[in-house]
Amino acid sequence: MNSSWICALWFFFAFLCSRRRCRGRFGIWSLLLCWSLVPGAENFRASAADQPQWGQAWSRNMVSEEKGLPDSFDPTTGKNIKWSAKLGTETHSTPIVAGGRIYVGTNNGAPRDPKHQGDRGVLMCFEEKTGNLLWQFVVPKREEDPFFDWPETGMSSPVTVEGDRVYLTDNRGEVVCLDAQGMANGNDGPFRDEGAHMTTPKGSGSTPKPVAGAEIQPEPLRPPVDGTALEPGPLDADIVWLFDLASGAGVWPHDGAHSSILIRGDHLYVNTATGVDNTHKRIRGPNAPSLVVLDKRTGNLVARDDEHIAPDIFHCTWSSPSSGEVNGCPLIFFAGGNGVLYAFEAIMNPSLTPPGRGTGDRASSEATPRPGGGGDGSPGASGRIKTLKKVFQFDFDPTAPKENIHQYLSNRREGPSNFYGMPVFYGNRIYLAGGGDVFWGKNEAWLKCLDAARTGDITTNGLLWSYPLQKHVMSTPAIYDGMIFIADCGRAFHCVDAETGKPYWTEEIKGDAWASPLVADGKVYLGTRSGNFYVFAASKEKKVLASVELGDPISATTTAASGVLYVATMTRLYALQAGTNSKSVDDSR
């Protein structure tokens, strides 16, 4: 049905409602009838309840408006389980729901396509209604050094979806734009080398052995030397464009990229996951950006930070950016791997980058061709790469060591701080959790609140309150009805007054919390690394509504969309809906 028919229907409705006899119930019935005839109306209703990015857009608050959600479920009996689907053997990516599809990153521990064998990063796309696999994005691991792309960890980044475009930072540190339909509607391009991109180089496939301090560089993924590439099939993804952060921006990948891409206008804001080398004591990309901006239409590099963060990164850059408007100015908030929170002005004018800096504006002869320019993403590499303008900076841990920081490796008593969770913008404040690195740093960790309206260096005058956590923290806080909910790796779950930072209550939980809590429907949902899933009442009084032992570690944050909860364990994705019963979990599915 074309636009003229749509307009005709609406004029017909207006005419009916203008007549006295046709008002009231008939007018309402006419509205519903006309709306139901509009093409895409059903999709609009569904998308109104989608969760197309991690956290709220773009405050990153871990709160959902969904209602009627279950407060318990049972995998043994199938109670409140709509369906479940098998994943790989390690899943650290939070499920994202948009356009009738669910996206979750995992590994290739349980191959869905026989042509893809061995360790890979995998993004799976499921049908929201049934849990059937629609397509998957399969990416070979980096094989120069295991510390570039840690074995078996899979695809850790959650996607961000806008319309029919899916944006992702994959396990190799490539920012990709995918077609939400996969190959179902053909290879749309302009990227045409999907077969080469999913094929490992000849003779590869085994995990490389690390050589400490070796002069190894991250390399682009090139087609096999013998020219034989896998043939894309109906289960494979359709790449629209691709930008390699290592070769295109000088990033030094470490362990595995974890980035939830922020969209603002025509721009993508991406934390680069640049970090230390395999000695964990050396920065091999001192000029690497920590935050970059790409044109969402082409993948061209538009801007980067110029704060010289890289030399002071203790481990890696895993915190994704958030955004909010302060005094009429849209800001991007970014927690760097150096333990400093930054605010930058958002880019307002259209992209000015010339064709050729990304890989999406042309078909490529290589799987990931090196973008034009200097390849280090520095402002001097191209006169058109902008520098993000800083508004403020806040040193999260001002008394921590600032010199020779890598001497504190494995020191659990003292050392610098860094971040895993995201800064949350709420009520002109920033709420951020951080502290010693969970793998290599000190135990101390805090939840802090600061004034987002200040400018300059706000380390001494921007802090509103600080709340000590039990031990290490990877969560992003959830702010709801004057309360903050957050979990830490000291096996404690906290409810804190958002205004003062005073605790309402704490609860001991089983297992470390790598996931963030989700508040929805008056409840708080949280999974832990011990495989326990908790449901709390979102209240100032402590109430544990349910505790489910899944026996499978959970790293991902729970997602709510269209009246359904999505819980991803290491090996399985559960779709939970009140009143459903799938009999029991089918491990073969």
Binned at pLDDT 50, 70 and 90, residue 211 comes out as confident
User: How far apart (Å, rounded) are the C-alpha atoms in residues 465 and 59?
Assistant: 20
- CB-based contacts of 404, cutoff 8 Å, min separation 6: none
Q: What's the whole-number mean pLDDT along residues 564-588? A: 88
Type and span of the H or E element at 31: helix 25-37
Q: What's the whole-number mean pLDDT along residues 205-211? A: 71
Residue 24's region, left for phi above 0, alpha for psi from -120 to 50, else beta, is left
pLDDT digits (tens, 9 = 90+) for 554-567: 999 999 999 999 99
pLDDT digits (tens, 9 = 90+) for 411-425: 999 999 999 999 999
Q: What's the whole-number mean pLDDT along residues 486-491? A: 98
Q: What's the whole-number mean pLDDT along residues 118-136? A: 97
pLDDT at position 203 is 53
pLDDT at residue 110 above 70?
yes
CA distances 185 to 54, 168, 492, Å, are 27, 20, 48
pLDDT digits (tens, 9 = 90+) for 342-361: 999 999 855 434 333 344 33
- Residue in the block written with tokens 């479940």: 84
Hey, what's the torsion of the CAs at 128, 131, 134, 135, to 10 degrees?
110
Binned at pLDDT 50, 70 and 90, residue 12 comes out as very low
Arithmetic mean of pLDDT over the chain: 87
pLDDT at position 375 is 56
Binned at pLDDT 50, 70 and 90, residue 205 comes out as low
pLDDT at position 14 is 43
The lowest-confidence range among 31-35, 97-101, 192-196, 298-302 is: 31-35
Report yes or no: 518 and 505 within 8 Å, Cβ to Cβ.
no
pLDDT at position 268 is 98
Higher pLDDT: 348 or 326? It is 326
pLDDT at residue 6 above 80?
no
Report yes or no: 306 and 249 within 8 Å, Cβ to Cβ.
no
The whole model's pTM is what?
Answer: 0.88
Q: What's the whole-number mean pLDDT along residues 61-74? A: 97
Q: What's the whole-number mean pLDDT along residues 577-588? A: 77
Q: What's the whole-number mean pLDDT along residues 563-582? A: 96
pLDDT at position 582 is 84
pLDDT digits (tens, 9 = 90+) for 128-142: 999 999 999 999 999
* Whole-number percent of the chain with pLDDT over 70: 84
User: How far apart (Å, rounded) are the C-alpha atoms in residues 189 and 479?
Assistant: 41
pLDDT digits (tens, 9 = 90+) for 276-313: 999 999 999 999 999 999 999 999 999 999 999 999 99
Q: Which fold has domain 40-581?
A: Methylamine Dehydrogenase; Chain H (2.130.10)
- Which neighbouring-strand residues pair with 544? 536
How far is CA 435 from its chain centroid? 21
Q: What's the whole-number mean pLDDT along residues 41-59? A: 71
pLDDT digits (tens, 9 = 90+) for 214-261: 788 998 888 777 778 999 999 999 999 999 999 999 999 999 999 999
78-111 burial code (b ≥16 CB/10 A, e <16)? bbbbbbbbbbbebbbbbbbbbbbbbbbbbbbbeb
Report yes or no: 418 and 51 within 8 Å, Cβ to Cβ.
no
Binned at pLDDT 50, 70 and 90, residue 364 comes out as very low
Binned at pLDDT 50, 70 and 90, residue 44 comes out as very low
Q: What angle do CA 569, 570, 574 make, to 5 degrees?
A: 30
Report yes or no: 440 and 410 within 8 Å, Cβ to Cβ.
yes
How far is CA 469 from its chain centroid? 24
What's phi and psi for 460, nearest 5 deg?
-95, -25
Q: What tokens appear for 390 in the block?
A: 């800083």
Helices (H), 474-559: none
Binned at pLDDT 50, 70 and 90, residue 379 comes out as low
Q: What's the whole-number mean pLDDT along residues 444-461? A: 98
Binned at pLDDT 50, 70 and 90, residue 587 comes out as low
User: How far apart (Å, rounded) are the C-alpha atoms in residues 545 and 344?
Assistant: 41
The lowest-confidence range among 50-64, 79-93, 225-239, 497-511 is: 225-239
